[in-house]
A and B are shown apart, each in its own frame.
Chain A
Amino acid sequence: MKRFAVSAAALGFAFWLISALLNLPATLIDLRPLLAEAIPKSGVAHPVTAVLLNTRGYDTLLEIAVLLVALIGVLIAVPPGNPALSERPATADDAMVPALARLVAPLAVFFAIYVLWAGAHRPGGAFQAAAILAAALVLLHLAGLTAAWSAPTLRLRIGLIAGFLIFLAIAAAPLLGGMLLQYPPALVGTLILVIESGLTISLALVLAGLFLLLADRGGVR
């Protein structure tokens, strides 16, 4: 009964909305020309990066807070003092896997640096670079080369928040004479690169943490 009612409601909703969308006229406000005008002042050439780190950089600042909150939530869900934590997983029966991982991991670092740099003028940027680095960390773990993470040490905790703190500092500094995140025009390109570099490291650790803090625990694989 519930199944039928919910499915019917979902179908009805989809039909109602689709029929309305088919007749939707063009919008009166168009941000594209506004953004095109803003890009030369934004410090980067790629429009999506300009929105992410400049015109709507404040969204990105909060979104990193969301990621950190999720990481803390994961730490809460992992009870401390689990003895199985610091042992290396013995997954790799096949010698090829660790050998390949050793080859791929440095390449991933190289590729991440390229993606970070590319973000200024084509698709790329801190998140993509961080995802590649995090994938390399996960790969090293799955290949049996590094251990899963237990409760983070001071050094790791600093690494996890460093990017966020750099972003916060650069966001707050303009308040001395202007608005939040209002980069000085002369430095805007450099500052965005600094923010993105910091975020790449920290986000890579956060994303890897979401996996490695949960890895190989409680006998579940």
Chain B
Amino acid sequence: MTTGLLFALTGVVLFAAGAAALLLVDHLLRRVLAFNIMGSGACLVLVGLAQRNGVPDPVPQAMVLTGIVVAVAATGLALALIRRLHAQTGATTLPRDGADND
């Protein structure tokens, strides 16, 4: 097994763990962490799988840099909104499903 493939398999595990946590945890900061783990997993798969034959591939490496910047943007926005919600309601979790519908 090459290191590239090992990275990809690790990425799959990280993605699955992050996605599951995103669905399971309520605390908003933990959800942001979960999303970042999930995103890192996807990026590892992108880079690792492409160079599973041991030769580096710059194309996915550049794509991952783009993906990281996008993740930074989403994380920043999420943190700002979480702080806003905390300032407005004191809550660190979202209201139960549907409670903000009316």
Direct contact of A and B (CB under 8 A): yes
Least Cβ–Cβ distance between A167 and chain B, in angstroms: 14
Known: A70-B76, A77-B80. A21 touches B5 (CB 8 A): yes
Interface size bracket, B side: 35 or more
Q: Is the CB of B20 within 8 A of A6?
A: yes
Known: A48-B62, A77-B83. A21 touches B12 (CB 8 A): yes
CA distance A22 to B80 in the complex (A): 41
Task: Give A46's nearest chain B residue, CB to CB.
Answer: B58
Please, what's the 1-or-0 string for A74-98, where 1 marks a CB less than 8 Å from any CB in chain B?
A: 1001110000000000000000000
CB neighbours of A2 from chain B (8 A):
24
CA distance A22 to B8 in the complex (A): 10
CA distance A2 to B20 in the complex (A): 10
CA distance A217 to B84 in the complex (A): 10
Known: A2-B24, A35-B59, A56-B63. A21 touches B76 (CB 8 A): no
Please, what's the 1-or-0 string for A56-82, where 1 marks a CB less than 8 Å from any CB in chain B?
A: 100110010011011101100111000
Q: Out of B8, B15, B58, name the residue touching A51 (CB < 8 Å).
A: B58
Q: Is the CB of A32 within 8 A of B55?
A: yes
Please, what's the 1-or-0 string for A7-26, where 1 marks a CB less than 8 Å from any CB in chain B?
A: 10111011001100110101
Least Cβ–Cβ distance between A103 and chain B, in angstroms: 27
CA distance A63 to B49 in the complex (A): 23
Q: Is the CB of B57 within 8 A of A6?
A: no
Does A210 have its Cβ within 8 Å of any Cβ on chain B? Answer: yes
Does B72 have its Cβ within 8 Å of any Cβ on chain A? Answer: yes
Q: Out of A50, A69, A78, A207, name the residue touching B80 (CB < 8 Å).
A: A78
CB neighbours of B84 from chain A (8 A):
77-79
Least Cβ–Cβ distance between A206 and chain B, in angstroms: 9
CA distance A10 to B65 in the complex (A): 26
Interface size bracket, A side: 35 or more
Q: Is the CB of A21 within 8 A of B66?
A: no
Least Cβ–Cβ distance between A17 and chain B, in angstroms: 5
Least Cβ–Cβ distance between A173 and chain B, in angstroms: 23
Q: Out of B52, B57, B87, name the residue touching A24 (CB < 8 Å).
A: B52
CA distance A207 to B71 in the complex (A): 12
CB neighbours of B49 from chain A (8 A):
21, 24
A interface, CB within 8 angstroms of B: 2-3, 6-7, 9-11, 13-14, 17-18, 21-22, 24, 26, 31-32, 35, 47-48, 50-52, 55-56, 59-60, 63, 66-67, 69-71, 73-74, 77-79, 127, 207, 210, 213-214, 217-218, 220
* 11 residue pairs bridging A and B, Cβ less than 8 Å apart: A7-B24, A10-B20, A18-B9, A21-B49, A26-B53, A31-B57, A47-B58, A51-B62, A52-B65, A78-B80, A218-B87
